[in-house]
């Protein structure tokens, strides 16, 4: 009988784990839903209505104002740390509680801080995979109310502070917060390996290059590449600068390992030329030379060049009608619009 009961309990254990994980997934989906517009009008004032309001936004404020009501849920979260969506839920419900309510036990604080960073990373990647900004309020809170507020930031251990800054570095372009970039870099914490890596800008660029290599959603990748120009003029070490250049250059050629689409290649060329103007034309000539080594690309490349010329001439005619610019100036602008498009392979 003992053997039978033992085997029965062991066989039901995987089912129990699966059931728990399913319930956590359902809970995560529920708190990530948007609040009805009528309820949103009651909760928020007109000045605060700058985006979608989700249930986790309301609950996060609730657990700060009535902190004792969240104790039972926190205890349950600790028991479910091994479940995949536990950190997701914790980061959504208790990201404000962690910084606005006193937690005396440093060991528990470190555990909560690590769970916050892990959960926030996971939910931000959900936004990237779906190309949405559902969890933008969480990111903005971590950036504007924590990373840029030293008093709140110092409530978590130094290791958690560093992990939080690296997390924000990876997603600051995605959530359109480049206007806070200067303040973010000024508040960057010190890292023990800074003498090897460099300053705050080096850490930011390293995280961004790693992020670019992982992106597989074309609109998101284009969004990142379009914002890379804000790095222009930033002081970087030679190794970091070379790393950034190599990363961008990997998106300028068709085929492996990145297999970029034509739109991505154009965006990568634009970012590369903007950040590294020295050697711009030799780079394009070298790229053109290697294109000529593949004759099967010639017809499509010529067709793309003709289309680009036609579009440039249309722009030229339109500008001549609506501006009083001289013809040489308009021709230069028109040729700039072509920008060596012949060297680009239009295959996807």
Query: What are 228's two structure tokens?
Result: 């890379």
Mean pLDDT in residue range 267-286: 85
C-alpha to C-alpha distances, 176 to 134, 219, 228, nearest whole angstrom = 13, 14, 12
Q: Is residue 189 part of a domain?
A: no
Beta bridge partners of 34: 54
User: What pLDDT digit, counting tens, does each position of 126-140 carry?
Assistant: 999 999 999 999 999
Q: Is residue 39 part of a domain?
A: no
Helix (H, G, I), strand (E, B) or coil at 278: coil
Q: What is the DSSP string of 223-252?
A: HHHHHGGGGTT----HHHHHHHHHHHHTTS
C-alpha to C-alpha distances, 305 to 34, 44, 103, nearest whole angstrom = 46, 53, 63
Confidence grade of residue 294 (pLDDT, cut at 50, 70, 90): low
Mean pLDDT in residue range 300-316: 77
Q: Is residue 303 part of a domain?
A: yes
Confidence grade of residue 289 (pLDDT, cut at 50, 70, 90): low
**228, 204 Cβ separation under 8 angstroms:** no
Q: Is residue 315 part of a domain?
A: yes
Q: Is residue 348 part of a domain?
A: yes
With 0-12 CB in 10 A as exposed, 13-18 as middle and 19+ as buried, what is 11?
Answer: exposed
pLDDT over threshold 80, residue 242: yes
pLDDT over threshold 90, residue 112: yes
Q: Is residue 311 part of a domain?
A: yes
**135, 126 Cβ separation under 8 angstroms:** yes
Q: Which residue has the higher pLDDT, 287 or 173?
A: 173
Distance CA 137, CA 56 (A): 10
Query: What are 166's two structure tokens?
Result: 């690296």
Helix (H, G, I), strand (E, B) or coil at 34: strand
Number of domains in the chain: 1
**221, 212 Cβ separation under 8 angstroms:** yes
Provide the pLDDT for residue 37. 74
Provide the pLDDT for residue 49. 54
User: What pLDDT digit, counting tens, does each position of 188-207 carry?
Assistant: 999 998 888 999 999 999 99
Q: Is residue 329 part of a domain?
A: yes
Tokens 């289309």 belong to residue: 307
Mention every residue, 6+ apart, whose C-beta is less than 8 A from residue 152: 99, 100, 145, 146
Tell me the residue range of the domain where 325 lies. Answer: 296-348
Confidence grade of residue 248 (pLDDT, cut at 50, 70, 90): very high
Mean pLDDT in residue range 78-92: 89
Query: What length does the chain have?
Result: 348
Distance CA 287, CA 228 (A): 21
Q: Is residue 310 part of a domain?
A: yes
Provide the pLDDT for residue 317. 79
């Amino acid at each position: 009988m003992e053997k039978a009961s033992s085997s029965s309990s062991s066989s039901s254990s995987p089912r129990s784990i699966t059931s728990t994980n399913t319930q956590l997934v359902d809970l995560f989906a529920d708190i990530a839903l948007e609040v009805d517009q009528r309820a949103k009008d009651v909760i928020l004032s007109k000045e605060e209505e700058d985006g979608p309001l989700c249930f986790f936004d309301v609950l996060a404020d609730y657990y700060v104002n009535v902190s004792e009501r969240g104790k039972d849920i926190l205890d349950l979260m600790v028991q479910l740390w091994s479940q995949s969506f536990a950190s997701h839920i914790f980061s959504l419900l208790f990201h404000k509680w962690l910084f606005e309510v006193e937690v005396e036990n440093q060991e528990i604080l470190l555990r909560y801080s690590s769970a916050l960073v892990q959960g926030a990373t996971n939910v931000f990647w959900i936004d990237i995979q779906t190309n949405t900004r559902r969890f933008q309020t969480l990111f903005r809170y971590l950036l504007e109310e924590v990373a840029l507020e030293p008093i709140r930031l110092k409530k978590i251990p130094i290791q958690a502070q560093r992990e939080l800054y690296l997390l924000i570095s990876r997603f600051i372009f995605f959530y359109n917060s480049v206007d806070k970039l200067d303040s973010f870099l000024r508040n960057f914490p010190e890292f023990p390996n800074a003498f090897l890596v460099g300053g705050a800008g080096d850490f930011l660029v390293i995280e961004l290059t790693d992020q670019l290599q992982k992106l597989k959603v074309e609109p998101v990748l284009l969004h990142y590449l379009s914002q890379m120009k804000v790095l222009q003029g930033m002081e970087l070490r030679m190794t970091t600068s070379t790393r950034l250049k190599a990363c961008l250059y990997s998106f300028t050629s068709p085929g492996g390992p990145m297999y970029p689409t034509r739109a991505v290649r154009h965006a990568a060329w634009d970012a590369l030329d903007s950040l590294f103007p020295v050697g711009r034309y030799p780079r394009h000539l070298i790229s053109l030379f290697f294109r000529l080594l593949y004759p099967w690309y010639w017809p499509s490349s010529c067709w793309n060049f003709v289309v680009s010329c036609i579009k440039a001439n249309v722009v030229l005619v339109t500008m001549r009608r609506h501006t009083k610019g001289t013809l040489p100036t308009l021709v230069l602008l028109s040729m700039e619009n072509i920008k060596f498009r012949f060297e680009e392979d239009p295959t996807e």
